Amino acid sequence: MQEDFEDWEITPDAQPKAADYGYDLDAALSGVVGLEAQIPADAYTADILGQARGGNGVLIDDSGLVLTIGYLVTEAQQVHLHTRHGQVVEGHVLGIDNASGLGLVQALDPLDIPALKLGDSRHATPREEVVVGGAGGRKRSVAANIVARQEFAGYWEYLIEEAIFTAPAHPNWGGTALIGPAGDLLGIGSLQLQHQGPGGRVAPLNMMVPVELLAPVYEQLKTGKRTQARPWLGLFAQEHEDTVVIVGLAGEGPASRAGLREGDVVRKAAGMELTNLADFYRSVWALGAPGVQAPLTVEREGDVFDVVVTTADRHDFLKKPRLN
């Protein structure tokens, strides 16, 4: 990464201005670091997410714990953290929680920056003014508003019941800090999505993972223990006209082994009629732990048939963090 923080910046009219906030904005933004991760070519996620990944992380503890979005560091063998003042520190991936999508990295040398206090987004409401902070201070950050709090289902077997959506969007959203009116951390940047507003106008939004989802898994992640896993099918799916369509398969995962194909329409899961991704995931997850058999009813080229997928633990397909 070794980037110069002057190489690019958010347009000046979208940058936050220190006078508009009742906390020390520059101090809060100092806790956001740049993050780069290197992933081996033979890693399970290398083809999907790439081998060189870059984004942001947030120092949340003076001991060097950095919170980020998990896909940046999944299967990472090397991680480096960059402060806005040019300090570069190696990091070690402690763990990733697939349910929330959050990842935790340990800085292996002291980071000469202040930690950002963990907040609670449950009282944050639409129209509230926030800052989406990127590594590099105000010039790499966006003055934004919360525009929605609602369920989000991702195509990779992912579901957040009350995700946070902000606008305008940050262009380097992965691992950004959602900073609330009290100067504390309310969420971690995950995605950029396109939203169609009035008059058909399309505008980008950021989806943020609420920071309180860290609390139930914090101690496990800190100690390198696996968090509780859900049964994993190993497929990618999308909603299309009140149906669930398989749009891809994850390598030699459970769905591929069961003979499912791209283009298959999943009509039922565990006997439940499906019209959306959230119901699909909840039906499978309610069956039990990884390894449970998931009965699906599938339509393929006009034929409807039943298939049973033996689910797995997604972690078992991934490379483990390198010990430092």
Contacts of 226-229 with C-beta under 8 Å, sequence gap 24+, read 226/95, 226/315, 227/95, 227/97, 227/98, 227/99, 228/99, 229/98, 229/289, 229/290, 229/313, 229/314, 229/315
Section 88-92 average pLDDT:
97
Report how far residue 223's alpha carbon sits from residue 284's, in angstroms, rounded to the nearest whole number.
29
CA–chain centroid gap for 237, Å, is: 17
pLDDT the model gives residue 200:
73
Write the Ramachandran bin of 93: left for phi over 0, alpha for psi from -120 to 50, otherwise beta: beta
Contacts of 36 (CB under 8 A, 6+ apart): 1, 52, 53, 54, 79, 80, 82
Choice between 197 and 139, residue whose per-residue pLDDT is larger: 139
pLDDT the model gives residue 309:
98
Section 119-137 average pLDDT:
95
Whether the pLDDT of residue 60 is over 60: the answer is yes
Assign 324 a pLDDT band (cuts: 50, 70, 90): low
pTM summary value: 0.95
Report how far residue 155's alpha carbon sits from residue 296's, in angstroms, rounded to the nearest whole number.
17
Section 1-8 average pLDDT:
57
Note whether 60 and 116 are within 8 A (CB): yes
pLDDT the model gives residue 322:
67
Contacts of 44 (CB under 8 A, 6+ apart): 75, 250, 251, 317, 318, 319
Peptide bond into 198 cis (omega under 30): no
Whether the pLDDT of residue 176 is over 50: the answer is yes
Residue 264 burial (C-beta neighbours within 10 Å; 0-12, 13-18, 19+):
buried
Assign 1 a pLDDT band (cuts: 50, 70, 90): very low
Q: Dump pLDDT digits (tens) for 98-116.
A: 999 999 999 999 999 999 9
Section 277-288 average pLDDT:
98
Question: Quick one: tokens of 2?
Answer: 């070794």
pLDDT the model gives residue 7:
78
Report how far residue 147's alpha carbon sits from residue 164's, in angstroms, rounded to the nearest whole number.
8
For the ranges 82-86, 202-206, 307-311, the one whose mean pLDDT is highest: 307-311
- How many other CB atoms are found less than 10 A from the CB of residue 10? 21
Choice between 206 and 203, residue whose per-residue pLDDT is larger: 206
Write the Ramachandran bin of 211: left for phi over 0, alpha for psi from -120 to 50, otherwise beta: alpha
> Buried b vs exposed e over 169-182: b needs ≥16 C-beta within 10 Å?
bbebbbbbbbbbee
Q: Which domains does the chain have, with CATH numbers?
A: 12-115+218-222 (2.40.10.10), 121-214 (2.40.10.10), 235-317 (2.30.42.10)
